[in-house]
Amino acid sequence: MTESDRRVTLEMSGPRITADKFAKGIAAFVAMIKDVAKHVSGTSRGVQWTIGVRPGSAMIDCTPLPSRAPATVLPTILDTIERGVISTEAGSACPPHFSEKALNDMRKLASVLEHRPDEVDLIRVWRNGRSHQVTTQTVANVDAIHGIASRDWGTIEGRLQMITEVRRLRFVVRDAVTARLTECFFDDDIIDDVTSAFGKRVSVSGVILYRANGDTKSIEVEEFSVMPDEDELPDIDDMIGILQEVD
């Protein structure tokens, strides 16, 4: 293998790359290649990645080194990453060894191009002299793979059930009327609030993903609060008393 064939490179360019966009792109890309390596090698500790930044450019070289996996698996990991980048940009089929998390990381990488094209106007992934452009088409294709028809800011309410860290930190909210379940993905900074609210009624706000039939699929939690149970709500006599006190 040549030196360039032993690594995969992320290139980002634009007239004004902000630190936030640069950091978001790198974080998404590195998370994706680590997840693919885990699924190809069969263990999260199969390989270690070394990261190098080329002087005077926004090109990030990522090189896998064998850890618990044999060195012979490294070319397969790199090939899988390259084919996955091509596949998510070209169509709506899920690439081999790309988990839901890896797909979402590819979506995050491509979404760096959204909203402000005057900041980042080009993303490419390089492997052994071959370049593969990543555009906002990847965003649409990943949504299609997940069966997502639209996204919008909104709020859901229901009883918090099942907290897990499988794939990502998430819990499930069960709607009291329809009994539908919605996956709620959250960051670890609110994990204490979430665990203490287990079994309680909660209100969750953020970007909601909707299926083609209009049902909610999941939500990225940005606001979280606990609601009183029905038996804790004031009855009509209490409400009248409260209103009289206000008068």
Examine residue 246 and state whether it is found in any structural domain, yes or no. Answer: no
Domain boundary among 93, 118, 145: 145
Structural tokens at position 10: 């992320």
134 shares its domain with 153:
no
Domain that residue 106 falls in: 4-145
45 shares its domain with 86:
yes
d(CA 83, CA 94): 11
Averaged pLDDT for residues 217-230: 89
pLDDT at residue 245 in the model: 55
- Is residue 74 predicted with pLDDT exceeding 80? yes
- Residue 98 sits at φ, ψ, to 5 deg, of -100, 110
Please give the order of strands across the beta sheet that includes 8-13: 47-53, 59-66, 8-13, 122-127, 130-134
Q: How many independent structural domains does the chain possess?
A: 2
Structural tokens at position 246: 């206000």
pLDDT at residue 242 in the model: 45
pLDDT at residue 244 in the model: 54
138 shares its domain with 195:
no
116 shares its domain with 167:
no
CATH number of the structural domain spanning residue 158:
2.40.50.140
Domain boundary among 113, 145, 177: 145
Predicted confidence band of residue 18 (pLDDT cuts 50, 70, 90): confident
Q: For 102-128, how does the pLDDT look when each residue is reduced to its tens digit (9 = 90+)?
A: 999 999 999 999 877 678 999 999 999
d(CA 142, CA 57): 29
Beta bridge partners of 13: 122
Domain boundary among 111, 126, 145: 145
Q: For 194-209, how does the pLDDT look when each residue is reduced to its tens digit (9 = 90+)?
A: 999 999 999 999 989 8
Secondary structure (3-state) at 57: coil
Residues contacting 182, CB < 8 A, separation 6+: 156, 158, 172, 173, 175, 216, 217, 218, 219
| pTM for the model | 0.72
